[in-house]
Amino acid sequence: MILKAGRYKSFVIRRKILCCLLDGYGDVRYGELGRKTPLEYAETPFFDALLAGGTCGFMEPVGLGREVPITDASTMTFSFLGYDARKFPHGRGIIEAIGEGMRVRDGDFAARCNFATVSQDGTITDLRAGRIRDTKELETALNGMPFPVPFEFRATAGHRGIAVFRSGKNRRFSEDITSVDPHVVGRKIMRAKPLKPSAKKTADLVNLFVERSREALAASPFNKKRKARGLPPANALLPRGFSAKVPRLEPFPEKYGVRACGVTGVAINKGICKLLGIPIKRVDEDVGDNAKEMKMKLTPTLEALRNYAFVFLHFKTIDMAGHDGDLWRKVSEIERTDAFLGGLPLDGAVVAVGADHCTPCKIGGHSTDAIPYLFGTPDKGARGGRKFGDSECARGKRIKQYDFVGEVLKAASRR
């Protein structure tokens, strides 16, 4: 791998960096795993070899659960890449819209949405409509429904989508409204309420959008076919991650002195990379076949490592197991990720491992817990050494999440 040396502060970056975000891989201890976490229980020979000559500890996701809502925890990818998310607008809707190439500007209103299944009275029975896929037909139905302001809906990966209300002369929107998504089954879709008097029109429009979308989705032949096959219909949208401001940030290459590339396909990550001036090698994620998804990462990862000094590589499947509360699948996905990384020709690169947030199987959602991290150059000759996991991390240095990249760049400056 050819590296044109970059600089971070007074450090000369001498080695390439593969910075791996293992989405939601942090967890808690379980009796079924012998009082170990999934990470400690999993067989991870590559991570263990990395630890032999490397550094591990915990990173604190500063601001998560406070300035950054726990439901928008993936926004902490900014923090993972070295930006304090408390210091700029970070509403997830606009970031995802940017990631999907939608036209947005300050004053537009953007929301990320889940397709969901609800009963006739609006009670949620499935938050992800059976993890539905291939929803372009539903996108068409939604974009054809009558609505009092110009808008665009874009179906993205799996059960996800993005809605953007367009601002115009004398028409601007506010993100200061309450959520409509209770985030649990068995409860009804809530009504958005304004947090400021100026946000009342936006709240009313969001409530109308939820109502009109239910009508459009219920009439869709696509949903009628799903019901006939015994599948949960995607008969509602759950908007969240409201935002009306576009963040403007110092580009990553200027801030950290290295040419970077992202290997990802998730809308939030694509949006973050675009906002940070990081080009993307797009690879589909959440494709429904985890082995296939891992194979799809190989070529773009190798191409990025050949041409860039810093490669941001995202792994989604561990997080999905956490959301589904599937403990053994989470162990398996950690092992699958370790095997993938262990098979790469890394040629002395520094490999860094961490996450945006934890997704404990116990709660099936995000938490504000500290996140394990690890970085170093793998020593594949190491035998009988330390096992990467929470016990080893507890002995290591505790850092703020947004300082992680700086620590990794310092490690890459050593001969």
Going residue by residue through the chain (415 aa), what tens digit of pLDDT does each one get? 334 445 556 567 789 999 999 999 999 999 999 999 999 999 999 999 999 989 999 999 999 999 888 888 889 999 999 999 999 988 889 999 999 999 999 889 999 999 999 999 999 999 999 989 889 999 999 999 999 999 999 998 888 999 999 988 888 899 999 999 998 899 999 999 999 999 999 999 999 999 999 999 999 999 999 989 999 999 999 999 999 999 999 999 999 999 999 999 989 999 999 999 999 999 988 666 788 888 999 999 999 999 999 999 999 999 999 999 999 999 999 999 999 999 999 988 999 999 999 999 999 999 999 999 999 998 766 665 789 999 999 999 999 999 999 999 999 988 6
pLDDT of residue 168: 86
Q: What angle do CA 13, 16, 21 make, to 5 degrees?
A: 115
pLDDT of residue 5: 46
End-to-end CA distance of the chain: 16
Tokens of 281: 């090698």
pLDDT of residue 384: 57
Q: CB of 398 within 8 A of CB of 58?
A: yes
Angle between helices 136-143 and 200-218 (to 10 degrees): 120
pLDDT of residue 1: 39
Does domain 6-89+249-412 bear CATH number 3.40.720.10? yes
pLDDT of residue 288: 67
pLDDT of residue 79: 97
Q: CB of 227 within 8 A of CB of 53?
A: no
pLDDT of residue 292: 86
Say which residues have a Cβ less than 8 Å from residue 312's Cβ, sequence separation at least 6: 19, 21, 81, 260, 261, 262, 263, 264, 269, 273, 278
Instruction: Locate CATH 3.40.720.10 in the chain.
Output: 6-89+249-412
What's the rounded Cα separation, in Å, for the pair 35 and 43? Answer: 16
Q: Residue 400: what residue type?
A: K
Other Cβ atoms within 10 Å of 412 Cβ, number: 25
pLDDT of residue 414: 80
Strand-pair partners of 58: 372, 398
pLDDT of residue 342: 94
Residue 303 burial class via C-beta count within 10 angstroms: exposed 0-12, middle 13-18, buried 19 and up: middle
pLDDT of residue 71: 82
3-class DSSP assignment, residue 146: coil
What's the rounded Cα separation, in Å, for the pair 11 and 254? Answer: 14
